[in-house]
Structure 1
Amino acid sequence: MREDRFRATYLIETPLDPAKVAEVMAGEQSCGTFARVEGETDALRERARATVEGVERLEAAEAPSLPNAWLERRGVGGPWHRARVVLEFPVANVGANLPTLASIVAGNLFDLGEVTGLRLESIELPPAWRRRFPLPAQGLAGTRRLTGVGQGPLVGSIIKPNVGLSAEETADLVARLCEAGLDFIKDDEISANPDHAPLARRIPAVMAAVRRHQDRTGKRVMVAFNITDETDAMRRHADLVAREGGNCVMASLNWCGFSAIETLRRGTDLALHGHRNGYGAFSRHALLGIGFQAYQLLWRLAGVDHMHVHGIGGKFAQADDEVIASARDCVTGLAGEVDDRVMPAFSSGQWAGTAPATFAAIGHTDLLFMAGGGIMAHPGGPAAGVESIREAWEATARGEPLEEAARGRPALRQALETFGAR
């Protein structure tokens, strides 16, 4: 791939010739349309047109994955060919413009009449161009520095109940979770600035509890306040977090949008915890939407520091293989010699018993391991829940089976007995 071009890979389904459809895709997303137009000179096409770099035919389907009125009007039927298509686009068509990049690699492609399925699988950028976009303010190294966790996974939890607690009740819960030994605490994605616990009250109350804990123990717990809102409000909330001594904010990426996250990134050096809620709408259909490699790359260009990947054996629909690949994507550098890795955040149904499978799958501990019920519902209380997770990760690092490690370790044993039969 040349330094002046970037690459996108797609999975397509069509009853037409996939090679011809690939050319339609390249034209649609650069200088062309269904017919050559006035002003579309050979020189302009040479400079600005996307090119087809590969078409790999895959096994055909017996039926279309999605309805298509354009094909139906023309009486076009199967077989429905599937293919992997690689396109390259000129960097100059985009500049350092993230929303435009997203509209080029995705945009109207999902609506093309020629396809009965299309999925953006991955994006590859030349390193020099990637560095024109924001880098993570903290990333892996900064998150470890801010929490004082030099090695091993960061152990975190989520405020539960999700909603309904007052600002003062939330602060009391955070105080108990700090005492339990957590490294990281986050708001739930559905609790941002509710009437019963507005951020203007909740941030000072929670941070007072965090500071008291730090004064007693020297441990600075990272709290990700959910500041999801319109752009100006998010900036105000981030400023309040900084004034109160906080070091992290969270935003629901899909509902804030690229521009809002980029603006937030420019305005603060707080760690930006990117929550992907709603991603299933983009990803769960095999022949529609956006794969996680492409998705996380776009949000990393906006400057996030953490990305949710769900969890091994979790409560959501994603297969473990997808979770593993997502975590690896987060710690794969995009910018050559510049460290732009972000912290993969594991959550959803995680507990002490999922530690061995997580480590076996990804082979490292540069991760945020979050458990809600696995900590809060532990029969020994939250402190025992945290202890059980730390004991599980320590045993995993030693190569010791959890059943053996649980002998003489009540917190881990209770976790295995309580959650292991689920």
Structure 2
Amino acid sequence: MTTPADRLQATYLIETPLEPAKVAEVMAGEQSCGTFTRVQGETDALRERARATVEQLDELPAAETPSLPNAWLDRQGRGGPWRRARVRVSFPTANIGANLPTLAATVSGNLYDLGEVTGLRLESMQVPASYRARFERPVAGITGTRKLTGVTHGALVGTIIKPNVGFSAQQTAELVAQLCAAGVDFIKDDEVCADPDHAPLAQRVPAVMAAVRAHQARTGKHVMVAFNITDETEAMKRHADLVEREGGSCVMVSLNWCGFSAVQTLRRHTPLVIHGHRNGFGALSRHPQLGIGFQAYQTLWRLAGVDHMHVHGLQGKFSQPDAEVQASARDCLAPLAEGCDDAVMPAFSSGQWAGTVPATWSAIGTDDLLFMSGGGILAHPGGPAAGVTSIRQAWAAARAGIALPDAAREAPELAAALDFFGPKTR
């Protein structure tokens, strides 16, 4: 599908007891120059220039019951059938300009509150290259992350600080030193540990980076640490400056709670890699007839300039089906617009260990990802170094098409992982 140079396109799933084509026109009018009725000053010329237009509508099988309550329809005594349709609407980019919060308000905004619908979900977005060029790009992305960590091939193996909270700054630094020695490429804070009283960033960043620098001096290897600097905007800028001064290369932000403007400001302020954590995304996406799909979600955040995006993990501990995780990773690896080299690194996490590697390789077929394992590394019976080794052994086996039990005959760390963590092998 070709996106016109002066328009962006958004695809929605809608549910309504009304005529879907009429509801689609309401959506287009509500989010551009119109309202429920034509108003003074809304000339034909203005509508031609500024109105969103319905490009396509495909009706889907109807539902027997409404997905969501709707007082507006109840007041009118409207019942089913509850018709469903996929609708593509295009918006003039001139209506929005290079304004990310307004872009989000345009493609979402009041649409979720429309009285005409009992379900509405923004599934995907396509932006033209000329419009994408008006927004931030990743400063590192995949290529830059590999360069910073010295990982020229293979998946990057990462882990998470565990326990999530409770460690002092010095205890955190001691754990980071152990993890660096274990051979990880990447370490991140948990989303619930940002600037706690028991380990404030002002203490934690210098302590951790002293351990990282010492490891780099011994081995030549820079381990990327994603410090969680989630906070109000000015504080995040100060935290990022501290990380940069201490020789760090990455910061992490909880995207949904910081907001588009804050992340854009941070991107413009710092040259550090921004690791985008999507915690809270389930509230926006988990209902199949409400919210936002990952393709549209990651489009908006990539326009803010993040370098990494969380996609959860295959065969993991969260609710997303594997097919959704696979599609999310592919979305991250695809350009946002034709001719754009702006892919971001998908970060796999949640219940990942050596046994989930084959499913990941089979689904994605690329090494350009961050494979994060908490318990799979830290709880390995042979210790963290054996945990890291087991994942690398599993990755080599998967790439070679060797079943993990067969590979484990020559790989004791992998064999121990399979025995300890369970039978999730292929």
Partner of 2:57 in structure 1? 55
Give me the whole-angstrom Cα distance separating, in 1, the residues matched to 2:75 and 2:5: 42
Q: Does 335-344 or 313-322 show the bigger shift?
A: 335-344
1:158 and 2:168 equivalent?
no
Partner of 1:201 in structure 2? 203
Describe how 1:228-243 pairs up with structure 2 within 5 A: 228-243=230-245
Give me the whole-angstrom Cα distance separating, in 2, the residues matched to 1:44 and 1:144: 49
Q: Deviations over 1:29-87 (max 9, x none)?
A: 00000010000000000000000001100000000000000000000000000000000
> Percent identity at matched positions?
73
Give me the whole-angstrom Cα distance separating, in 2, the residues matched to 1:339 and 1:197: 38
Residue 222 of structure 1: CA displacement? 0.2
Partner of 1:173 in structure 2? 175
Partner of 1:133 in structure 2? 135
Give me the whole-angstrom Cα distance separating, in 2, the residues matched to 1:154 and 1:131: 29
Give me the whole-angstrom Cα distance separating, in 1, the residues matched to 2:313 and 2:254: 18
Give me the whole-angstrom Cα distance separating, in 2, the residues matched to 1:232 and 1:99: 19
Partner of 1:216 in structure 2? 218
Residue 123 of structure 1: CA displacement? 0.3
Describe how 1:20-419 pairs up with structure 2 within 5 A: 20-419=22-421
Residue 421 of structure 1: CA displacement? 3.9
Q: Which amino acid aligns with 1:135?
A: R
Question: Would you say the 8 A contact 1:131–1:335 is kept in 2?
Answer: no
Q: Which amino acid aligns with 2:75?
A: R
Give me the whole-angstrom Cα distance separating, in 1, the residues matched to 2:158 and 2:74: 51
Q: Which amino acid aligns with 1:265?
A: R
Q: Deviations over 1:313-369 (max 9, x none)?
A: 000000000000000000000133331000000000000011111010111110000
TM-score (norm 2): 0.98
Q: Deviations over 1:130-153 (max 9, x none)?
A: 010000011011000000001110
Q: Deviations over 1:372-398 (max 9, x none)?
A: 000011000000000000000011111
Q: Deviations over 1:249-292 (max 9, x none)?
A: 00000000000000000001100000000000000000000000
**SS of structure 2 residue aligned to 1:214:** helix
Gaps of 5+ in 1: none
**SS of structure 2 residue aligned to 1:341:** coil
Give me the whole-angstrom Cα distance separating, in 2, the residues matched to 1:42 and 1:337: 35
Q: CA RMSD in A?
A: 0.7
Q: Which amino acid aligns with 1:330?
A: C
Residue 419 of structure 1: CA displacement? 1.0
Gaps of 5+ in 2: none
**SS of structure 2 residue aligned to 1:310:** coil
Give me the whole-angstrom Cα distance separating, in 1, the residues matched to 2:391 and 2:408: 11
Residue 408 of structure 1: CA displacement? 2.5
Give me the whole-angstrom Cα distance separating, in 1, the residues matched to 2:30 and 2:78: 21
Q: Deviations over 1:230-265 (max 9, x none)?
A: 000000000000000000000000000000000000
Question: Would you say the 8 A contact 1:13–1:116 is kept in 2?
Answer: yes
Give me the whole-angstrom Cα distance separating, in 2, the residues matched to 1:2 and 1:407: 56
Q: Which amino acid aligns with 1:94?
A: I
Give me the whole-angstrom Cα distance separating, in 2, the residues matched to 1:183 and 1:219: 9
Give me the whole-angstrom Cα distance separating, in 1, the residues matched to 2:410 and 2:113: 60
Give me the whole-angstrom Cα distance separating, in 1, the residues matched to 2:342 and 2:134: 13
Which runs of 4 or more aligned residues in structure 1 lie more than 4 Å from their structure 2 counterparts after TM superposition?
Answer: none
Indicate which of 12, 24, 27 corresponds to 2:14.
12
**SS of structure 2 residue aligned to 1:13:** strand
Q: Which amino acid aligns with 1:370?
A: M
TM-score (norm 1): 0.99
